[in-house]
Copies of this chain bind each other. A is one copy, B any other.
Amino acid sequence: MTVRIAVIGAGIMGADHARIVAEDLPGACLQVVCDMDGARARGVAETLGAVDTATDPGAVIARDDVDAVIVASPDATHADLSISCIRAGKPVMCEKPLSASSDDCLRVMEAEQASGTRLVQVGFMRRFDQSYVEMKAALDEGILGRALMMHNFHRNVATPNADFTGAMAITNSAPHEFDVARHVLGAEYASIWAAQPTRSDDRVAPVVMVLRTTGGQLVNIEINNNAAYGYDVRGELVGEAGSVSMAPVLHSRLDSALSNSSRYDADWRGRYAEAYRRQNRAFLRFVETGRFPDIAASAWDGYAAALVAETGVKALATGNTEPVRMIDRPAFYA
């Protein structure tokens, strides 16, 4: 039986999700593309052969011919739309962040727990990326011994807008790192410290963070939004007996002009295309079976990412190590 999916938001992320539903999710149907901007919704829908378009997300969530929802609208709408889906009893995959506000994330969790059923998957697709899968497998298989540290480097060519700040690097870019390190380590954060070097221009400088988990592990994160040279994500998981590092995914190397070289992408979409595909397939199986995917992020994970980001912004401002004060994990999310 085909699962009829509505995609809310037809911007870059929404269009990508709609494309995956239409072209890479056998068993799913792109039922509705919804965007405040009806023309934009129709543009995406037409290209991909969606059944219908809409401009009112609330009405879309309520439709009988919609079995599940992907939320890829502006960040500020994520929490409320997720709560609407919960109230409609429909599984939702919400793009990250679940909310920039940890309090809003708590509201989503409360609604979900009140419903009695797991309904919310959060779009931290990195967990599905093969590099992290292999890191986690090496840890779980015992090859590395106990995990001690994780080093994470996230680099973009340039910030989209000139007034991007270090705080925005923490709230917008770092949550992927916050989440995937938590996921790989199977741990929660206890504290965070942050600093930035000084650039010669007015672009945002890299943010360097050192987090400690409740198990005493260190997670080091560099977010460099103006790295200039390319889109590049690196990671290393350091254990007591060994270490596993992310390898860049290459298909060829060029010898030319006294140089041996491989190319970087200019943005992130190629790097994680397969992870998005896997994530959305996991969501489809979740809808079909009601069983929450083992490795997917939940509302609890969305809350954790939001809270550590909020605390990181504070740490960057104070220069001190700031404690991450999470609520106890509800049994519902155990």
Contact = CB atoms under 8 A, between A and B. Distances in A.
Contacts of A206: 148-149, 218, 238
Interface stretch (A70-78, A117-125, A239-247): A239-247
Given A26-B25, A319-B321, A247 B255 contact: no
Interface string A139-174: 000011110110100000100000000000000000
Given A193-B193, A240-B226, A264 B254 contact: no
Contacts of A145: 200, 228
B195 A218 contact: yes
A84 interface: no
Interface residues of A, number: 77
Copies of this chain: 4
Contacts of A232: 255
Contact of A148 (B205, B245, B251): B205
26 contacts: A25-B26, A130-B252, A135-B252, A138-B254, A144-B256, A148-B197, A193-B193, A195-B210, A197-B216, A197-B217, A197-B218, A198-B216, A206-B238, A208-B210, A220-B222, A228-B241, A229-B259, A242-B255, A242-B257, A244-B255, A247-B252, A249-B249, A258-B265, A258-B266, A259-B263, A261-B261
